[in-house]
Every structure is written in structure tokens, then in C-alpha cells.
Amino acid sequence: MNSEIILTNARIVTETEEFPGTIQVRDGLIADIASGKSHIAGAVDCREDHLLPGLIELHTDNLEKHVTPRPKVRWNATSAVMAHDAQMAAAGITTVFDAISCGDIIDGSERLANLNAMVEGVVKAQASGHLRSEHRLHLRCEVSSANIVSLFESFADNPLVGIVSLMDHTPGQRQFVHEDKYMEYYMGKYHFTAAEMAAFTRRQRENSARYSADHRLRIAAASRDRGLTLASHDDATPDHVEEALALGIDFSEFPTTVEAARAAHAAGIRVLMGAPNVVRGGSHSGNVAAGDLAKAGVLDVLSSDYVPFSLMHAAFLLSRDGIGLDLPAAVATVSSVPAAVAGLDDRGAIAVGRRADLVRVHDTGEVPVIRTVWRGGARIA
């Protein structure tokens, strides 16, 4: 890695403004930011492309697609992490919290079968120093699962764990207020017959009634004790938000209604929505559109969820289409705000002293094109 890099003739996007200028990187940090073009020999001419801070991803289950690329196929976990990492870096994501499902609503699911391998794969690949992006762990805890507390405890002290989310995918509430969408999703994914679907639904309601409330309280308390960032999942009502406040929740993942998002935002709980929701123009589950929350001023963070490139794409879309955000505010939803949520004060913005995680992006007016990505001043894509 060069100890010094000068990037010039760029449209620099900071937390508050966008302007033509030059960035000097020294020893992996942003050393200087200046308006105008540099004529120093060796400076990289960005040809008026945008320079953005490296994107920060708080919730993605993209790794699962690489660990299980086909039904009943289990891929080498370290190899899967490397492939997943390459996608993250190419999408301009320089810090990623890989969302690992601890507990599932399907007994014997591939998620549970792959749980240990995925965690070990991330830990091994990160320790090797061969990954392009920086990887951390986000434990997704299905609170209606009988053994979720013991599963959580087995991973919670891993030093890569930074985020814990509390999920409950019981039909008739949260993500699946619309039970027809619940049936459509699970019958399509697991090929249940009508009788199997009815039995599955009954079992899920019983498990939720038996376990969810107690497990939610225990995992939230254990997460707070460890200083982990805590997320609620699929909040649908103001009551869900009141519960989140009592639990010490830091951010609300994928609220399903405007009412829940407004209540969370007003309570100081950051609101995270899926970037695919922005790109598609709406929710695949029939819930609230992320663009509508942005227009209402209650969208704080985006996550690429299941499509890595959607994070960059959605940030540019938020600055178009009459949504009302300027580019710095749109970019903040994928950089400085998620950094603050995760307690990462060394990155997430173009500012002197911050880590030189940078993305050079050409805006075509339709889909942004990522030219170059640097992490800590080293080129990774």
C-alpha cells in the first residue's frame, strides 16, 4: 500500500455537502480535504466522478447464498466467505456485519445446519487478513425458537459480534400481518402442502406464545450487559416500539408500517429499511415502502439485505425521484448513520482523521457505476 495517495478532480460527498475537490490519504487515513484540482505529479484524476465514504452494511444474509448455493449443497465456508466478500467490496461496502441466523422457525433448516460453519468461516477469513472488506457478525435471534438462548450464548462473546437482532416471524403480526403473504412466502420457499402449512402455522403460534416474550427479555438483557448494539425486527405498531424502548433497542430493522417507523424515529430509535425496497419501489411482503418513509423524514439507515449492489443504487435513488433528499443526506443513510449506530467512530464519513474507506462512483443518471474502492487507503476493488 502506498503511504500517500492523492485523489483529485472528484465530486467529494461529505456529511453535509458535495463539491469539486481533492483528498489526500496518508498512512490509511484522510489527511487533508481541499476544494479544487491538484496538479501534483502522481495524483489520481477521478475525472469528475463522485468520491463517497465506504459503505457500511448492518444486516445482510448474502453469505447464506454462498454457503448453500443450491438446495442440499453445503459449500466450503471459508471459500463462501471469500466469494461473499468479493461481492461486498465490488459493491463499495467496506464494513459489513454478516447476519447469521441463530435459531430458525424451520426445524433442521439449512440455516441451522450451517450456523457453526458460517461463524467459523467469517472468523477464519477475517483473521487471515485476506478479506477485502472488514467483516463483523450480526446475530439474528428468532425468539420463538426453543433453544435460541443457548445458541445466542454460544456465540455472544465472539469478538466479531457487534449487533444482535430480536426477530419473531409468527403469522398475523410484524412482517406477516397479512397472512396471505405468510402463506405465499413459506409455501413457495418450502413447498408445503395446504395441510403442512396449516400444521406449521399452528406450531409457530404455539412456540411464539410459549417462548417469545421470555427469550426477548433474556437476550436483550444479555446483549446490553455485553455492550452490543441491539435491534428490533419488523416493528408494526406503536406498542412494538414501546416494547423496543423498554428493551434498550438501538435501531428498528424493517418496520412494516408508517406508524411504527414514525414512533421509533420520534423515540430516538434509528429506522433501518431495505435498499431492495427502494430499488423495487416497494416491499415484497406488501408492507410500507422505504421511499415513503424517506419522504416522511423517518428513514435513517439502508441495508442491502439480499442484494449487495442495492445499497449504492438505493442511495442514489433517494436523491432522485422526488423523494427530497440531497446526495449527502442520501449517502449518510449508507455510511455515517450506520457507523454511528454500530459505534464505529473511525469511519463512515469523508473527514480529516477518518479511515480512508472511499468509493469512486460514476453516476450515469440511471445506475451508479463503481470505479474503484479503497479500504484504509488500500485499493480493494
pLDDT per residue over 243-265, tens digit each? 999 999 999 999 999 999 999 99
Give the chain's residues under pLDDT 50: 1
Distance CA 56, CA 98 (A): 11
Ordered by where they begin, the domains of the chain are 1-53+347-381 (2.30.40.10), 55-344 (3.20.20.140)
Q: If you count DSSP H runs as helices and E runs as strands, how many of each does the chain have, helices first? A: 15, 16
- For residue 258, give every residue at least 6 positions away whose Cβ sits within 8 Å of its Cβ, in sequence order, or none: 288, 292, 293, 296, 298
Cα angle at 165 between 129 and 332, to 5 degrees? 70
**How many angstroms from the chain centroid is the CA of residue 14?**
21
Output the pLDDT for position 284. Answer: 75
Distance CA 117, CA 98 (A): 13
Handedness of CA 318, 322, 325, 328 (dihedral sign): positive
Strand partners of residue 231: 165, 251
φ, ψ dihedrals at 89, nearest 5°: -60, -45
User: What are 276's three cell numbers?
Assistant: 431492495
Of 127, 94, 123, 89, the closest CA to residue 346 belongs to: 94
φ, ψ dihedrals at 222, nearest 5°: -65, -35
Kindly report the pTM of this predicted structure. Answer: 0.91
Distance CA 5, CA 213 (A): 53
Output the pLDDT for position 177. Answer: 58
Handedness of CA 101, 106, 107, 113 (dihedral sign): negative
- Kindly tell me the burial class for residue 6, based on how many C-beta atoms sit within 10 Å of its own C-beta (0-12, 13-18, 19 or more): buried
User: What are 85's three cell numbers?
Assistant: 466478500
Output the pLDDT for position 362. Answer: 98
Output the pLDDT for position 248. Answer: 97
Distance CA 304, CA 96 (A): 10
Output the pLDDT for position 208. Answer: 79
